Amino acid sequence: MPTFNHGKNAVVLLDNTNLSTTLTDAALSLTADVAETSTFSSSSKTYIAGLKDGTVTLSGYFESTDPDADAEFLSQLGGSGAAFSIAPIGYTRGNAVSFGNTIATSYDRSADVGSVVAVAVAFQFDGDAYNGKSLLTPTAVTGSSNETHVDFGAAGTNGGAGVLHCVASSGSPTLDVKIQTSTDEAVWSDYITFTQATGTTSELLTSATNPNRYARAVLTFGGTGSITAAVGFAQG
């Protein structure tokens, strides 16, 4: 029997901000160009695949007491882009996560006499959109750990990519995050190493090396306080 999921658990992370508490709708659209190859001898049209593309549209409420989300939207408009993640059923470890580098292309804010002030933002993927799984549920990290691994079913055949979002911090912390992979759930090797985080930040890294079947996040914490972090990983 199929398993269905309610959209209320969706999580949207942009750069170093968790937007989930202000949004009501998040739509991911992935497309691929095709070029026609039909000839005089063809009885039906034929095509070859071309370039892939992707967009994201977000809508929700303007939050006047917490400017982080609104400021993040405006800072991304016309900028160089930032890491973006959307987890349609929640960012719990093992759940589906789509991520990539996005550039904001439009921002709309509307006020109506009978409604809540609303915002709508559109984003364009800059490069690949990756479809993978969460390796770390957004968590206030206060110590070092080897997180529980996730089974991807088979080894990757087209490289891999990882994304790190640090969306809150307190005190004077440091956090080093690695993604490791394994063939047997026993022996692990480093696959992606993110830049050390000392506060809120984000980073998307790729590797041309094919990853092993199992993947996990490894966290090394130092200093005081905490950093709230989330990690996603995709094969190819």
Rounded to whole angstroms, the Cα distance separating 37 from 50 reads 12
- Global pTM reads 0.93
Residue 94 tokens read as: 């093992």
The pLDDT assigned to 33 comes to 96
What is the mean pLDDT, run by run of 10 residues, along the chain of 236 residues?
92 95 95 96 95 96 78 86 96 97 95 93 96 96 98 97 97 98 97 98 97 98 98 95
3-state SS assignment for residue 200: coil
3-state SS assignment for residue 70: helix
3-state SS assignment for residue 103: strand
Rounded to whole angstroms, the Cα distance separating 163 from 168 reads 16
The pLDDT assigned to 209 comes to 97
Q: Which of 203, 139, 226, 211 is nearest to 180 (CA)?
A: 211
Residue 31: phi, psi to the nearest 5? -135, 165
Q: Decide the pairing of beta strands 82-87 and 47-61.
A: unpaired
The pLDDT assigned to 34 comes to 96
The pLDDT assigned to 64 comes to 72
E strand or H helix at 138, and its extent? strand 118-141
